[in-house]
Amino acid sequence: MRSDPLGSPRPELLISICNKAVDPQPTCLLRMDAVTQHYEWVDIGLGGDRAVSGVGICGDESRIFHLSAIETTLATRLSVLDRATLQVLAVQSLPEIQDPHSICRRGDEVFIASTGTDEVISYQLVGNELANPRTYWSPTNSRADTHHINSVAVADGDILCSAFGGGGAETSWRTTTEGYIYNIDRDAVVKDGLGQPHTVCPYRDELLFCNSRTGTVETTTTILAYLAGYSRGLAVGPSTIYAGSSFARRSKTAGDVFLNPSDEGPLRSRCALVQLPTDEDLRVEVGMTGLGYEIYDILVR
């Protein structure tokens, strides 16, 4: 948080922009003042490499942890930044992660969604580096993207994830409606019957998530907002929920739903940061199409 001249808090956001394969850049992490909407790109220490996708982001009291995928090889990089200055503290390759999507920390453990291998991988955090990777959970042990595990989070001390797929050989994760939120530590489904859920996170006394296929921001009991595109990326501030809305495809056969931008069909909607005050109906939408077509994750700094 920063303060304006009157001392009021001014949230600063870090926004991870994904799927920039047509225009790879040295960074895919954006810093934005939530009030003035001023933004600048943040160095994530890739050197001569260029990122095609920025994905999961999380933080602790002193650091920011950000995942990205590198051009050509799609290798996974973890960038560790100083939370106060955003200076790069460390950059690490994670060869055991394929198609990274999300990251969270619990104590001295870090968890990453390795979507391409259908796993949640855990690590020991040693200084600014990750060590001793192991499979923490997999719905299939298939080492193939079948359930499309796409977010991991800590809620009440437990590790949760969101995923969708597993509907059989004739059902792709791209078309399935069998999305779910799962408590890994309790081996329990929290909510199912969802349409491509993403970005599960704790919110008050329940959970918040994006039901991306319907373009909504929801809790486990109610719909909080309808967005104009594929909903993905959430962060909770003191009085505002920040949500990402991305370009999406509309299919003639799938009905009135949003499809992943990599699917077939006309590209519609828009990329925007949507600010949803928790105590009033007014919301603010910040257009971001000039910066990228898709938002993956958001962090309040």
* Window from 37-46, 149-158, 165-174 with minimum mean pLDDT: 165-174
pLDDT band with cut points at 50, 70 and 90 for residue 3: very low
CB 112 within 8 A of CB 102: yes
Checking if the pLDDT of 140 tops 80, the result is yes
Which tens digits make up the pLDDT trace of 83-122?
999 999 999 999 999 999 999 999 999 999 999 999 999 9
Q: Which domains does the chain carry? A: 2-300 (2.120.10.30)
- What is the per-residue pLDDT for 6? 38
- What is the per-residue pLDDT for 190? 97
- What is the per-residue pLDDT for 4? 43
CB 255 within 8 A of CB 236: no
pLDDT band with cut points at 50, 70 and 90 for residue 168: low
pTM listed for this prediction: 0.91
Task: List C-alpha distances in Å: 256 to 65, 171, 250, 252, 284.
Answer: 36, 19, 7, 9, 24
Long-range contacts of residues 30-35, Cβ cutoff 8 Å, at least 24 apart: 30/291, 31/86, 31/301, 32/273, 32/286, 33/2, 34/10, 34/237, 34/240, 34/242, 34/275, 35/4, 35/10, 35/11
3-class DSSP assignment, residue 269: coil
